[in-house]
Structure 1
């Protein structure tokens, strides 16, 4: 069960990392949400620890520090969640894809 949750967390971490890497650095400056390098480093480290968490499960090894890896992976998932819940919507508004943009005639 923990491996499934770890896989979900890794998926969220990869999503945050790819979104961060695809976003121009100027957009981060416009929304005053730190820099692209800051969020890129955080989400990359987050994704790395998410991968490390799943490595023992994939190789069927029992790691003695699995508890510590779980805490680090939880912190990484939190970083990815903060990026996706706070930074990404602000960046979407700058790009014209935010909630306040009603130019397309849709309510989404």
Structure 2
């Protein structure tokens, strides 16, 4: 019984990390590339690769290729860095300048 609960908990964490990673990947894909340089963040391709890697890690954790909790945590942190730090900085980018006004 204990292992069953633990398995479901790890699976829920893997699905949560997958959702965060897909959200980060989709958000990075729709942002214009100059917004990343304007906000002094890395390039758009870096964040797409980082979010894509997080999505792949969490997908492998969901399907059972990686059965450890560590991969879900790593994927969640990778996506969380984008969503908490980069997304707010590039969200208000306006073409022709970095000012939101």
The CA distance in 1 between the partners of 2:91 and 2:29, in whole Å, is 14
- Aligned residue pairs total 89
TM (norm. structure 2) is 0.79
Residue 40 (1) aligns with residue 48 (2): yes
Q: Which runs of 5+ in 1 are unaligned?
A: 57-62, 96-100, 104-108
The equivalent residue for 1:106 is none
Q: Which runs of 4+ in 1 moved over 4 A?
A: none
Q: Which runs of 5+ in 2 are unaligned?
A: 1-8, 95-99
Query: Which of 24, 27, 43 is residue 16 of structure 1 equivalent to?
Result: 24
What's the C-alpha RMSD, in Å, of the aligned pairs?
1.9
TM (norm. structure 1) is 0.74
